[in-house]
Amino acid sequence: MANNLTLTGANQALSWILGLTATAPVGQLKVALVTANGTDTASGTEVPAGGGSYVRKNLTAATVSAKASSNSADLVWTGMPACTVVGVEIYDSAGSPVRWWYGPLAANKVLAAGDEFRLPAGSLAFGLS
């Protein structure tokens, strides 16, 4: 995920750095799990909530150093629906959430109904090059 800002995220970051806008994500950032990966301009297919207790999880990020950061706490989903998780996307908490970041997992994870899915602290890498 290191350099996978969405087009919206990249445009907003550059606008902020250049002093053109004070736009930032609205509220708490959330981690979404996807069963089909998105692109710079299109969202992936989010894990369905039906058949399980899936919801987006709050992201707690580590201090930025050397143009990089990561999740500073484990992210744990319990009671997942049967699915194959292939990636993650980061959204803000706006009324119509904005997608800021996306990326594939190192390896797909096949889950049976009721399984737990965990992203350990440090497993989501965020960076700018």
Task: Let me know: does 2 contact 68? Beta carbons within 8 Å.
Answer: yes
Q: Is residue 14 part of a domain?
A: yes
Range of the domain at 40: 7-121
Helix, coil or strand: residue 44: coil
pTM as predicted: 0.90
pLDDT at residue 3, rounded to an integer: 64
Task: Let me know: does 89 contact 32? Beta carbons within 8 Å.
Answer: yes
- DSSP state, 6? -
Query: In the beta sheet, which residues pair with residue 127?
Result: 68
Contacts of 82 (CB under 8 A, 6+ apart): 51, 52, 111, 112, 113
pLDDT at residue 113, rounded to an integer: 94
- Cα–Cα distance, 25 to 80 (Å, whole number): 27
Q: Is residue 2 part of a domain?
A: no
Q: Is residue 67 part of a domain?
A: yes
> Could you give the number of structural domains in the chain?
1
pLDDT at residue 43, rounded to an integer: 96
pLDDT at residue 2, rounded to an integer: 54
pLDDT at residue 58, rounded to an integer: 97
Q: Over the chain (129 residues), what is each successive 10-residue block's mean pLDDT?
A: 76 84 86 96 92 91 90 96 96 94 96 96 89
Q: Is residue 37 part of a domain?
A: yes
Q: Is residue 128 part of a domain?
A: no
Instruction: Please give the backbone phi and psi of residue 10, each rounded to the nearest 5 degrees, phi first.
Output: -65, -45
